[in-house]
A and B are shown apart, each in its own frame.
Chain A
Amino acid sequence: MQRLAQHKDKKAFAELFAHFAPRVKGFLMKSGADAALAEEVAQDVMATVWLKAHMFDPARASVATWIFTIARNRRIDVLRKEQRPEPEELPWGPEAEPPQDEAIALQQDSARLVRAVKDLPDAQRQLVEQAYFGDLSHSQIAAATGLPLGTIKSRLRLALERLRHVMR
């Protein structure tokens, strides 16, 4: 991801594409898009990944999380024909270079969360997945409560405090 952000490295992008484009397409099809539309939107999402690569902040999100948010927003845009209002942006980039250790810790937490999702009993994992395919109910939220989100939350809180500090 860093090679992509800093050098617009086409080979790095090809690797990212091979990993994520099929997942994004699968996500969109489970959200109700047919194969042709899902292909179109997945291409769109990956083009956005290239264009916005310099905005990726490894202390705030894993690559999968960042791509998920782009795919989710395009899904709302295309399938529901609605805008998705986003919170005010906090500063990023050279003036707020995230400390390496913060980024590493968040990436480790994210990897642990992926394993925890994969290790959920099938029925519970399906509930969590369905929530993100656009069909949310209380039992789905309950299914997510056992997952290790607490450490990520407190880490993100610290990252935000650091950004607010830079803003002052």
Chain B
Amino acid sequence: MTQEIQHHLSPQILMAYAAGALPEAFNLIVATHLSLCDQCRAEAESYDALGGAVLEAEPDAVMSEGSFEAVMARIAAGDGPVPKARRAKDRVLPAPLHDYVGGGLADVKWRPLGRGLKQAILPTTDSASARLLYIPAGMAMPRHGHSDIEMTLVLQGAFQDEGGYFARGDIEIADSETEHTPVADSHEDCICLAASNAPLKFRSLLPRLAQPFLKI
């Protein structure tokens, strides 16, 4: 299921995910990649283990009087989060995306951007943004750079750019050094999840003018 993935997350990002230091939009794309990539999941969980070791080594704070009884009372009252099973039934969208889309691929509320290109902005907090992109087979995205970090995870089809060939499960991490022209592979329409903490910078004038309206 996961052996073909060629492009992975960096140790820095995986540690930041385990430490809970990333904005929601990046947590979402990392969780989605980990759903498809056992190599990165094992690495992320090893950073969870480090968090456990830090907790274990933590000097105790003092609990309030009657704290244990309060917890037992809460449990008896059935007051607490109810564990929910989270397994994806969708062929394209892994489970973490379901809450944000409100279902599977058929439930995505696409907005057309012209030439068959579509996007759907997902509801995360403002610290960073996440969106699904639908790129028709063979289409080239306008050449663009980034003022900060952008991650792109392929969910269906594939794209090629200066950084290599990216298929389902592969994740590309672009920063202010990266400028690229992704082209969707011709065999299938490409669906990606993208997260960034700053707007993209397009090279040519037209997309740059359209950018405030497109919210990309």
- Residues of chain A having any CB pair with chain B under 8 Å: 10, 14, 17-18, 20-27, 29-30, 35, 38-39, 42-44, 46-48, 50-52, 55, 60-62, 64-69, 71-73, 75-76, 80-89, 109-110, 113-114, 116-118, 125, 128-129, 131-132, 134-136, 138, 141, 144, 147, 149, 152-154, 156-157, 160-161, 164
Nearest chain B CB to A88 CB, angstrom units: 4
CB pair A25 B15 closer than 8 Å: no
Query: Per a CB cutoff under 8 Å, which of A26, A48, A60 touches B59?
Result: A26
Please name all residues of chain B whose beta carbon is closer than 8 Å to the beta carbon of A21 when the two chains form the complex.
63, 67-68, 71
CB pair B74 A61 closer than 8 Å: no
A-B contact pairs, 29 of them (CB 8 A): A14-B68, A18-B68, A25-B61, A39-B64, A47-B71, A50-B75, A51-B75, A62-B49, A64-B55, A65-B53, A69-B48, A69-B52, A81-B125, A85-B28, A86-B86, A87-B35, A87-B95, A110-B52, A110-B53, A113-B52, A129-B54, A129-B58, A134-B21, A141-B12, A141-B15, A149-B46, A153-B46, A156-B46, A164-B1
Please name all residues of chain A whose beta carbon is closer than 8 Å to the beta carbon of B42 when the two chains form the complex.
153-154, 156-157, 160
Please name all residues of chain A whose beta carbon is closer than 8 Å to the beta carbon of B52 when the two chains form the complex.
61-62, 64-69, 110, 113-114
Task: Say if the beta carbon of B186 comes within 8 Å of chain A.
Answer: no
Nearest chain A CB to B16 CB, angstrom units: 5
Task: Say if the beta carbon of B94 comes within 8 Å of chain A.
Answer: yes
| Interface size of B in residues (CB-CB distance below 8 Å) | 67
The tally of CB-CB contacts under 8 A between chains A and B is: 217
CB pair B20 A84 closer than 8 Å: yes
Main secondary structure of the interface of A (DSSP, over half): helix
Please name all residues of chain B whose beta carbon is closer than 8 Å to the beta carbon of A81 when the two chains form the complex.
125
Given A68-B52, A141-B11, A73 and B45 touching (CB < 8 A)?
no
Closest B residue, CB atoms, query A76:
B20
| Partner-contacting stretch, out of B77-85, B144-152, B160-168 | B77-85
Question: For the complex, what is the distance from the CA of A134 to the CA of B57, rounded to whole Å?
Answer: 17
Closest A residue, CB atoms, query B28:
A85
Query: Per a CB cutoff under 8 Å, which of B19, B48, B55, B100 touches A23?
Result: B55
CB pair A136 B15 closer than 8 Å: yes
Nearest chain B CB to A11 CB, angstrom units: 12
Given A65-B48, A88-B88, A128 and B71 touching (CB < 8 A)?
no
Question: For the complex, what is the distance from the CA of A132 to the CA of B32, rounded to whole Å?
Answer: 22
Given A22-B62, A156-B42, A160-B42, A68 and B48 touching (CB < 8 A)?
yes
CB pair B51 A72 closer than 8 Å: yes
Task: Say if the beta carbon of B187 comes within 8 Å of chain A.
Answer: no
Question: For the complex, what is the distance from the CA of A10 to the CA of B5, rounded to whole Å?
Answer: 45
CB pair B58 A43 closer than 8 Å: no
Nearest chain A CB to B30 CB, angstrom units: 8
Query: Per a CB cutoff under 8 Å, which of B38, B80, B99, B124 touches A157?
Result: B38
Given A72-B20, A113-B53, A44 and B80 touching (CB < 8 A)?
yes
CB pair A42 B63 closer than 8 Å: yes
Given A22-B63, A160-B41, A85 and B55 touching (CB < 8 A)?
no
